Amino acid sequence: MPTRRAKIPATKYPVERFVLDNGLRVVLTPDRSAPVIGVAVVYDVGIRSEPEGRTGFAHLFEHLMFQGSENLEKLAHFRHVQGAGGTFNGSTHLDYTDYFETLPSNALERALFLEADRMRGPRLTEENLRNQVDVVKEEIRVNVLNRPYGGFPWLTLPPVMFDTFPNAHDGYGSFVDLESATVADAADFFRHYYASGNAVLAVSGDIDVAEAATLIERHFGDVPARPAPERPDFAEPDLTAERRSTYTDALAPLPAVAGAWRVPDPITDFAGYLPYVVLAEVLTDGDASRLVERMVQRDRSVTGLGGYLGFMGDPFDVRDPTALLLQAHLPPGGDVDKVLRTIDEELDRLATDGLTEGELARTQARMATHLLRDTDAVLGRALRMAVLEQQRGEPGLLNELPRLVGDVTEDQVRAAAATLRPERRASVEVVAGGQK
């Protein structure tokens, strides 16, 4: 008997798209309900794009983009955004780098000027480079080297699962690679990847579409036209035999394990990919989920457990190759082999026996709630639409995602679970070195 389906509400955010003569793609989504705007610029360059010998360079360059630009001195971007009452940041992902602001709507032109100015050219100097290399090294110390479970599993699992440099290397970077970076390297990286034809600008919130389009043309229209570079093929074959790796974390107080399985291409096979997104939540989202109920509450074989798609945790901003990940922390003396066996048992049980009444509907309702909440704020909307445009040419898919999640059937979830076999799994075990 089929399980009850969730009723998923839809959003109807309007979407206006156009392309400037220099190749910059623009997405506008007006919402006059509050005098706030979100501005996002996404460049089609990420960790997978950086060359060998330059690990961490995509993230380093993100830092350099805040160190002044063609007409602005160092720290001017900070001052102009915060002086208008706004906030800003940037982030580096596997497949893109983004820069964004939230501002009062009367500061739209200010935000456009700031982003256009650094799209023309950041201030790449020896002083700025050396300073930001030191900043990134300190970030690595804080977030990876001197933190329990630092880099687990987003840095430690890819080299087990993948064989090629783009997919397997340390995206935070080695100190040797970072220290050997030159201004010429940075200038070449900018010329190659930070082209107007390789970028998307999205503006969401309290805007008049015609006025915003005029301002965008005014500030971005004369950015020199450079085409997008051809994106390499990062494909790798699926695993045919289980891969396992172990390392000791001197700071970790408890053992941990993460396992991952390859999933269908999220861009070219979105329909085949979506059931895995739902499956990860069925397995791990909330106290009533499959693995949490059994392994945390009943067996107590783990102290905590999570599951998600993509090594950085967002299922709708990744390209192939990617994976479904499950990670768990164990109690002292915990048995990693038992944990992996239990996961296999639960996957088999789900594939064979199906879901319980209401299990799928409950999970889909929670997922839809998270999707709706994430795009309720204007910046979340701008960022999501920019990435959807960048990777798919479909920013309006934002309105469809909750419904598409709700359309996934029990049979599709069961079929997805049946593919997560031990021989297709890569796993990494953390041996606790910090126990007293």
pLDDT for 435: 57
pLDDT digit string, tens, across residues 188-207: 999 999 999 999 999 999 99
CA distances in angstroms from 221 to 22, 41, 214, 226, listed in the order given = 7, 15, 10, 12
CA distances in angstroms from 71 to 41, 115, 117, 186, 279, listed in the order given = 19, 11, 7, 19, 49
pLDDT for 9: 80
The DSSP secondary structure of 338-355, one letter per residue, reads: HHHHHHHHHHHHHHHH-P
Are residues 56 and 178 in contact, defined by beta-carbon separation less than 8 angstroms?
Answer: yes
Question: How high does pLDDT run on average in the chain?
Answer: 95
pLDDT for 1: 45
pLDDT digit string, tens, across residues 350-373: 999 999 999 999 999 999 999 999
How far apart CA 260 and CA 272 sit, in angstroms, is 17
- Cα angle value 397/235/98 (rounded, 5°): 45
To the question of pTM greater than 0.85 for the whole model, the response is yes
**Cα atoms in the Cβ-side hemisphere of radius 13 Å centred on 397:** 19
pLDDT digit string, tens, across residues 5-44: 667 888 999 999 999 999 999 999 999 999 999 999 999 9
pLDDT for 5: 61
Does residue 210 have a pLDDT over 70?
Answer: yes
pLDDT for 434: 67
Q: How many Cβ atoms from other residues are within 10 Å of residue 125's Cβ?
A: 15
pLDDT digit string, tens, across residues 285-327: 989 899 999 999 999 999 999 999 999 878 999 999 999 999 9
Mean pLDDT within 163-184: 97
Are residues 94 and 32 in contact, defined by beta-carbon separation less than 8 angstroms?
Answer: no
User: What six digits make up the tokens of 348?
Assistant: 């088999």
Helix (H, G, I), strand (E, B) or coil at 123: coil
pLDDT digit string, tens, across residues 230-264: 999 999 999 999 999 999 999 999 999 999 999 99
pLDDT for 8: 83
pLDDT digit string, tens, across residues 130-160: 999 999 999 999 999 999 999 999 999 999 9
First to last CA, the chain: 52
How far apart CA 99 and CA 89 sit, in angstroms, is 6
**Cα atoms in the Cβ-side hemisphere of radius 13 Å centred on 173:** 30
pLDDT for 10: 83
Are residues 167 and 48 in contact, defined by beta-carbon separation less than 8 angstroms?
Answer: yes
At 169, the amino acid letter reads H
pLDDT digit string, tens, across residues 51-71: 999 999 999 999 999 999 989
pLDDT for 7: 74
User: What six digits make up the tokens of 204?
Assistant: 């969401």
